[in-house]
Amino acid sequence: MFDIKRVNSKLVAALPTMLRGFTRCAPKVAQASMLQLALNRFFHHELRTGELSFLQDKSVVVSVADIVLEFGISLNGKQLQVQLQPPQQDLLLKAELADFIAMISNQVDPDTLFFRRRLQMLGDTELGLYCKNLLDSIGPERLPSPINRSLQWLALQQKTAALADIKPAVEQR
């Protein structure tokens, strides 16, 4: 019998492994270019209005631990620049893929992840607060509709899988 919940949970569980293979095999130049293009499109309004000026001469490094992807974001004029091996790091944001997806899709607040020790923020805390406040002011609805719907679905599947993994604190007999 076909069980869609089981298929979905296996897909969600396999996603980090598949993406880790992609980040290992795909050309680094292509990865950096794709990330740079996506970030510049997503933050087009903020770049045009100068709201990202706090990134001038700074480097924010994003580390997605379970897929072994780490990239630095800096501001170069009115464009974001992405480097896969950034020479400097003013702020490090580190979490697993599921946590980044939950944040992007507004399923969980970055503060909650931080206090649960699922999101690490190391370095310039003022820069971290600027980044957090900026991201809080932008909703996932800015993403293209298919990507937004996909992230919402994925976040729901991850939440369902996580709840299924929780065992009762006291077993009943």
pLDDT tens-digit profile, the chain (173 residues): 556 677 777 777 788 888 888 889 999 999 999 999 999 999 999 999 999 999 999 999 999 999 999 999 999 999 999 999 888 899 999 999 889 888 888 888 888 988 999 999 999 999 999 998 888 888 788 888 888 888 888 888 888 777 766 544 444 44
Half-sphere exposure of 53 (CA within 13 A, CB side): 4
Q: What pLDDT score does 33 carry? A: 96
Indicate the burial class of 138 (C-beta count within 10 angstroms; 0-12, 13-18, 19 or more): middle
Provide the phi-psi class of 71: left if phi over 0, else alpha when psi is between -120 and 50, else beta. Answer: beta
Q: What pLDDT score does 31 carry? A: 94
